Structure 1
């Protein structure tokens, strides 16, 4: 749940961001589950007097680098913020394994910091835009905080209102059948109990990564130390926390107006780059849709033909179709 503001974190840096003069980044330190932990909030300096803002939350093996996405929302009249969660991107530190988490719920501290800082910046209303695992993190946070008790209301004034949610290919369900998930859960829980740091090695670039980065067949020149093409080693502990969070979320009802955006096709397991480019190469769009329909009571869906897993990283004009769907929905729900 949300905690009183001003007692649990400290801003330690502020500087021009690596994305250039239009962006600033602020680093905050706080007590993580086991070690002192950092999180980084990036913002575009456009529309400084506006009271509405977008907060972008990245996915797994990811960080914020999509400057054009920020510029799109600035043109729509919003302010724009993004967060590199603890253990990701700008927040990676030598003392903590990249992308490691004790539970999905721990990222609520990152979101508290981001929202409290945005409130101090003059933001009153926030639309969360979350991709992949970021969608699971944001949804878990909303489910845990949507019913604030009267005793906590005065703390809520230190946060802006979260009025809407946009999900970009959210990781709400594993790309497996319910029976396969049930069969996997017990051995994963047992393995994690016996060997909590056990993981699958990451040895070679994924086919999906080859569709993205300029060193292969893609158009994006992001940092490969923060978003490696082979991924970070897949932790079984992380997978256990994903399953736990997905099961929790399946039992919740989130009433926030929500836009679910996903590809019209899944290309998981495709071995050729051109085949992978025809859809979402990471998640199953049908299980994603079913999970969203079970949790979100005010759900609108936009299916983007041939959209990549990260729809914004799709080629033109697919990317423009994705942004047009967001623009249309924001105008209709304003």
Structure 2
């Protein structure tokens, strides 16, 4: 497949995905900041002629494996796609450190590739669904200014219309309550800027991982080399770029219809798996909500009791409540299109 005019990527693989016969995976290679990188677009093969689709963007230390999530949207009449961003999951390569980025804006190329390919598949309307850091990446992507008429015209021809954004516990603010965040955000920014080549070493298995993976008693089986239970080493450079993206987004005002789903409480710092399972054990939901209200002008918010950080991985009935919230919101959205 040749790339659209003005784009520079090459498809290098197309076949059945590791999730099984119901899923297709296409791999693309393109120039990254330092070397060639890969991105992978996975799609459920259901509804091949439908003109509307969901595009899922995963979070940090993550990849797409939630087959039931895909099947939910297939049952609603959508096509379903998911992208494993450069340096994540199916797109990890020996030449690039896992999860590394020079800037969060570079993931715009992954989304360009995904959306252009979806358009070539015959899809006209897309709703983005993004989790955690993926929510920050997707929001940053949608906030890009298309100032040049020529560029805007090209995007309209080569890309489907992105008509909505669904955010699953988005990483719009650092994981501290609002009052604490106001006090410590500046010192954190100074620290990560002064020490960009430093890391927080990943040593212990996180309580969040213990809540979800089956080897620790959770419900889910996924690849621990791609989503390790102790996480990857946390780069201060990566954290600096996250803070930069969050600050930039806070100064944007987006009109796209947006749904944010989050847990009703945060359980950061809890000491047992049972306590962590009562809410979001990764991010602060109040800071998340405040940031969302600042940026998104057409915002619907839903809180999910006992929802995990990745709401789809929650226990029942929280998982069903999350799926129901998206279903209801999509029904309202599609009535307008």
Q: Structure 1 length normalisation: TM-score?
A: 0.96
1:149 deviates by 3.2
Is the 1:88–1:99 Cα contact (8 Å) retained in structure 2? yes
- Matched with 2:275 is 275
Q: Could you say what secondary structure the match of 1:81 adopts?
A: strand
| Residue of structure 2 in register with 1:304 after alignment | 304
User: RMSD across aligned C-alpha pairs, in angstroms?
Assistant: 1.1
Gap runs ≥5 in structure 2: none
Unmatched segments (≥5 aa) in structure 1: none
Q: What's the offset of the Cα at 1:205?
A: 0.5
For 2:121, the equivalent position in structure 1 comes to 121
Assess if the C-alpha contact under 8 Å between 1:4 and 1:155 holds in 2.
no
Structure 2 residue aligned with 1:231 = 231
Show CA shifts across 1:38-61 (max 9, x none): 000000000011000000000000
CA distance in 2, matches of 1:150, 1:191: 40
* Distance apart, 1:332 and its partner CA: 1.2
Shift of 1:6: 5.8
8 Å CA contact 1:5, 1:116 repeated in 2: no
Aligned to 1:55: 55
> Which of structure 1's runs of 4+ aligned residues deviate more than 2 A?
3-7
**Cα pair 1:212 1:220 within 8 Å, conserved:** yes
- Give CA-to-partner distance per residue, 1:185-230, whole Å, 9 cap, x none: 11210111xxx2x211111110010000001020100000000000
Query: Residue 134 of structure 1 corresponds to which residue in structure 2?
Result: 134
What's the TM-score, normalizing by structure 2?
0.95
Distance 1:158 1:173, change over 3 A: same
Superposed, which structure 2 residues align to 1:95-106 within 5 Å?
Answer: 95-106=95-106
Report the Cα offset of residue 301 of structure 1: 0.1
* Partner secondary structure for residue 178 of structure 1: helix
Residue 148 of structure 1, CA deviation: 4.9
Q: Is the 8 A contact 1:165 1:259 kept in 2?
A: yes
Distance 2:163 2:317 in 1: 29
- 1:114-149 per-position Cα deviation (integer Å, ceiling 9, x unaligned): 00000000010000000000000000000005x453
Hey, what's the Cα distance between the residues in 2 that align with 1:81 and 1:148?
28
